[in-house]
Amino acid sequence: MAATKTPANPAKEQNFVAQDQIWKCHVNMELEAAKVWPSKWGFLTMSYHEMLQDQTLKKEGVKLELPEHLQTRPTTSPEKYFQVGASPAVPPTTQGLIGWRSTVPELQLERFGKVHHGKSSFLKELGWPGDACD
């Protein structure tokens, strides 16, 4: 019996008439899209400067005066409130770098002195004996 040979790759079989018809449809679709494009996307052809001028005209027309209580004050420079002095000399050794700024009283973080929280007991505040709770 003679077996019919099937091609190894069916994609290699081409129908030239169908390929031509598909190509004609693609060309017609591109021509139709080219005709319709200016009505749909023509605004993109406007130059950038024209667009900026249109926007500035629109922005200039909308000016609102804020009430006095909603207006912001002009900013002041931080130098008016903060004065930064010179730093002390850098220690010559790495051992001296540890805590070298905290030895200068003006550079300490505790501006208002050390925090003194006394040790208190809830039981003492109530006047109970210490062994009242476990």
Q: For the stretch 18-39, what's the b/e string if a residue is b when 16 or more beta carbons lie within 10 angstroms of its beta carbon?
A: eeeeeeeeeeeeeeeeeeeeee
Q: 134: closest CA among 119, 120, 123?
A: 123
- Which 8-state DSSP code applies to residue 88? P
Residues 120, 110 contacting (CB under 8 angstroms):
no
Helix (H, G, I), strand (E, B) or coil at 13: coil
pLDDT at 118 over 90: no
Residues 85, 106 contacting (CB under 8 angstroms):
yes
- Check residue 62 and give its pLDDT: 63
pLDDT at 10 over 70: no
- Check residue 21 and give its pLDDT: 94
pTM confidence score? 0.29
| CA–CA separation, 53 and 60 (whole Å) | 11
pLDDT interval class at 81 (50, 70, 90): confident
pLDDT 10s digits, 21-58: 999 999 999 999 999 988 888 877 777 778 888 888 77
How many CB atoms neighbour CB 91 within 10 A? 13
| CA–CA separation, 129 and 134 (whole Å) | 11
pLDDT at 11 over 80: no
